[in-house]
């Protein structure tokens, strides 16, 4: 990965090169190598990378006459792009950045319609005095920007922008994050800093800005109109396997070094790990996180805490070196480190601790690539009862009734689950909250929140933005993919362990295929994910595909998060004015005093102490990024 920085100063009285260096210095932990600097008119760009590349050009004009471009990029369809550009368009040793630049100067924004890979880039158009910023559809490379009346700056991480201007943490943004509000907007957790969203292109000029999604995939399967309207089941299986193989292959190291993979009992990680083992000539090392202790108390219905035995089945079937990770660094050490690296409050500390441990163990085994399957539930392996909502949306009631009855015959499905998944999108949020409380025992968000009352009241008055996709399961998946935005997490992996964290299930080609699958490939005859089940049968053991239980991550949270440590951290963060303004300190103290000694994985305790951990982590973030204690 690279670290990017740039300044566009319309007054042209600043030392842009010096400011870019300051921004790169603040991002030095995220990349290594050489610094490249470039200037064109009012623009100064810089990159820190092993092979930094800045360039520009326009047909029929000197190379630096119009464009200045800098990119953090890995292209997955290099040969296709080289063929499109034609003979002689590129030097024989052109790297991914050079190919991206050539595609932009040839086709401008239309180039993004057929570029596949991970990227975040900035382009200065000298003729139009415009700065263009863009990210790939899954958001694996981050990009942030800030503007004043006379200046626009961008950087890979917010810390780059904070190195040249004051950007304090935004209380409102952090409060919304703690309250669980959707993150579809373009803000960040720092005032004055905005993010480029996944799949978005932002154009900034002296007179204003324009932003829009450049990635607009086809959504939803068309209604069948004849015998040849859709592929056969076998064709869908072949296409699934081809795309999965392609997505994994382009993320494998080219030097033969070991490749690591995160492996649980879920279909997503099993699909990625097994495919890597089939394709890669080097060694594959699978890492499975498991509880440090088996005495975890009662677990929710249908859940297991230790997935290592199931993961071992796949590892053994493919002769994969399997490593079980049961120990992590002290939890608050992880929170402090990751808060500083992510530059946002840590919201999933229990999972992040074992992610960090896996990264470290993978690095120590010589791996430079760590494969994950985080987006699989929204892409290739989507499906399940939520698909019934599509039949409701289409008003194909006979099909809905047949599928609902078939689902009800399963031992792990109840009619109330069928009805909620079919019609829940039609209910207002309070009604859904009441249903969750009634049938799942999940407490209301306000009952476990540690935001001050004033913030909870304000957020309660402000309408929570509802995703436009809520009534359509296909659009709901697209919205979830866009919200996932893992860019800062990928940078954190690079900074913490020097490892590239890659998710094949986030491949653009794979996503676009998954968003057009007909509902019967997602749920049929009461069976969830029939296409995925059939396609994975050649690589994932039947014991995994037939599992009737799901993993419960972080079930040993109470072994790593203790009352005395929570109290110590609370005493540390309480003196800070920003913390007292945001968090309900007395409520946090009462929760610590009432620390549970049993039933740790009940819905109430998981929700309450998960929220307490998030509140403490938010306090740590505020002490790291705010002014000194008042």
Over the stretch 166-198, which tens digit does the pLDDT of each residue have? 999 999 999 999 988 766 678 899 999 999 999
141 Ramachandran zone, left/alpha/beta (phi>0; psi -120 to 50): beta
- Shortest CA distance to 582 belongs to which of 448, 444, 449, 443? 449
Q: How far is CA 194 from CA 133, 170, 611, in A?
A: 12, 11, 26
Output DSSP code: residue 59. Answer: T
pLDDT at residue number 88: 86
pLDDT in tens, 471-480: 788 999 999 9
Which residues 6+ apart lie within 8 Å of 94 measured at CB?
Answer: 82, 102
CATH number of this structure's domain 3-213, picked from the four choices 2.40.50.430, 1.20.58.480, 3.30.70.980, 3.60.20.10: 3.60.20.10
Report yes or no: 181 and 461 within 8 Å, Cβ to Cβ. Answer: no
Q: Which two tokens stand for residue 508?
A: 């653009």
CB-CB neighbours of 231 under 10 Å: 14
Homologous superfamily (CATH) of 218-553 is HUPs (3.40.50.620)
Smallest CA-to-CA distance from 3 within 56, 45, 57, 64 is with: 45
Q: Are 488 and 198 in contact (CB under 8 A)?
A: no
Distances (CA, A) of 345 to 144, 178, 254, 415, 458: 17, 9, 35, 39, 21
Q: pLDDT confidence of 301, banded at 50, 70, 90? A: confident
CA–CA gap between residue 134 and residue 64 (Å, rounded): 21
pLDDT at 57: 47
- Is 90 exceeded by the pLDDT of residue 314? yes
pLDDT value, residue 101: 86
How far is 476 from 514, CA to CA, in rounded Å? 13
| pLDDT band, very low/low/confident/very high, at 225 (cuts 50, 70, 90) | low
pLDDT tens digit sequence for 322-361: 999 999 999 999 999 999 999 999 988 999 999 999 999 9
pLDDT in tens, 590-626: 999 999 999 999 999 999 999 999 999 999 999 999 8
Q: How many other C-beta atoms lie within 10 A of the C-beta of residue 365?
A: 15
| pLDDT value at 206 more than 90 | no
CB 286 within 8 A of CB 323: yes
pLDDT surpassing 50 at residue 466: no
What are the domain boundaries of the chain?
3-213, 218-553, 557-625
In degrees rounded to 5, what are phi and psi of residue 25?
-60, -40
State yes or no: pLDDT of 134 exceeds 50.
Answer: yes
**Across 263-272, average pLDDT:** 97
Query: Do the beta carbons of residue 212 and residue 200 sit within 8 Å?
Result: yes
Query: How buried is 281 (Cβ within 10 angstroms: 0-12 exposed, 13-18 middle, 19+ buried)?
Result: exposed
Q: Name the burial class of residue 597, with classes exposed (0-12), middle (13-18) and buried (19+) by CB atoms within 10 angstroms of its CB.
A: exposed
Q: Which residue is listed with tokens 């957020």?
A: 459
**Beta-carbon contacts of residue 614 (< 8 Å; ≥ 6 apart):** 178, 345, 346, 347, 349, 450
How many Cβ atoms are within 10 Å of 212's Cβ, its own excluded? 11
pLDDT at 144 over 70: yes
Q: Residue 538 has what pLDDT?
A: 97
pLDDT higher than threshold 60 for residue 462: no
């Amino acid at each position: 990965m690279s670290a990017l920085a740039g300044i566009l100063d319309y007054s042209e009285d600043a030392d842009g090169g010096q400011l870019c260096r300051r921004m790169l210095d603040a991002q030095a932990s995220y990349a290594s190598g050489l610094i490249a600097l470039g200037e064109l008119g009012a623009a100064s760009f810089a990159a820190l990378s092993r092979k930094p590349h800045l360039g520009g050009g326009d047909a029929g004009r000197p190379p630096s006459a119009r464009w200045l471009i800098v990119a953090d990029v890995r292209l997955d369809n290099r040969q296709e792009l080289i063929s499109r550009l034609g003979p002689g368009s590129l030097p024989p040793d052109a790297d991914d950045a050079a190919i991206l630049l050539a595609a932009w100067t040839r086709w401008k924004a239309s180039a993004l319609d057929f570029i596949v890979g991970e990227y975040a880039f900035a382009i200065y158009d000298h003729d139009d005095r415009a700065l263009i910023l863009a990210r790939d559809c899954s958001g694996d490379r981050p990009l942030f920007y800030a503007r004043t009346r006379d200046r626009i700056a961008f950087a890979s991480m917010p810390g780059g922008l904070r190195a040249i201007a004051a950007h304090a943490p935004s209380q409102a943004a952090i409060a919304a994050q703690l309250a669980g509000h959707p993150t579809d907007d373009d803000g960040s957790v720092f005032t004055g800093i905005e993010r480029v969203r996944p799949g978005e292109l932002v154009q900034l000029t002296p007179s204003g800005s324009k932003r829009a999604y450049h990635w607009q995939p086809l959504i939803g399967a068309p209604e069948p109109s004849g015998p040849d309207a859709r592929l056969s089941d076998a064709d869908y299986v072949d296409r699934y396997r081809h795309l999965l193989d392609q997505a994994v292959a382009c993320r494998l190291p080219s030097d033969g070094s070991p490749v690591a993979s995160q492996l649980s009992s879920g279909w997503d990680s099993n699909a990625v790990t097994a495919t890597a083992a089939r394709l890669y000539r080097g060694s594959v090392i699978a890492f499975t996180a498991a509880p440090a202790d088996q005495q975890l108390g009662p677990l929710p219905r249908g859940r297991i805490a230790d997935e290592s035995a199931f993961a071992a089945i796949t590892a053994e079937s493919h002769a994969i070196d399997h490593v079980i990770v049961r120990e992590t660094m002290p939890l608050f050490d992880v929170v402090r480190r990751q808060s500083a690296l992510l530059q946002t409050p840590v919201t999933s500390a229990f999972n992040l601790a074992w992610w960090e441990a896996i990264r470290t163990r993978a690095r120590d085994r010589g791996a430079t690539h760590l494969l994950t399957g985080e987006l699989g539930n929204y892409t290739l392996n989507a499906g399940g009862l939520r698909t019934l909502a599509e039949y409701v949306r289409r008003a194909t009631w006979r099909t809905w009734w047949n599928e609902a009855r078939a689902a009800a015959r399963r031992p792990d499905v109840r009619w109330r689950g069928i009805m909620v998944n079919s019609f829940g999108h039609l209910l207002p949020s309070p009604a859904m909250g009441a249903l969750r409380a009634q049938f799942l025992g999940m407490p209301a968000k306000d009952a476990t929140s540690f935001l001050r009352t004033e913030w909870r009241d304000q957020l309660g008055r402000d309408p929570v933005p509802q995703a436009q996709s809520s009534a359509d399961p296909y659009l709901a998946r697209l919205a979830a993919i866009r919200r996932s935005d893992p860019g800062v997490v990928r940078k954190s992996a690079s900074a913490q362990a020097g490892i590239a964290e890659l998710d094949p299930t986030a491949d653009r080609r794979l996503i676009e295929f998954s968003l057009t699958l007909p509902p019967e490939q997602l749920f049929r005859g009461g069976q969830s994910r029939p296409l995925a089940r059939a396609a994975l049968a050649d690589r994932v053991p039947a014991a995994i595909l037939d599992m009737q239980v799901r993993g419960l991550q972080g079930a040993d949270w109470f072994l790593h998060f203790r009352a005395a440590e929570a109290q110590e951290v609370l005493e540390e963060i309480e003196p800070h004015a920003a913390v007292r303004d945001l968090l309900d300190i007395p409520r946090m103290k009462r929760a610590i005093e009432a620390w549970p000694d049993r039933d740790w994985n009940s819905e109430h305790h998981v929700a309450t102490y998960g929220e307490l951990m998030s509140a403490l982590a938010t306090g740590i973030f505020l002490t790291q990024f705010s002014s000194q204690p008042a």
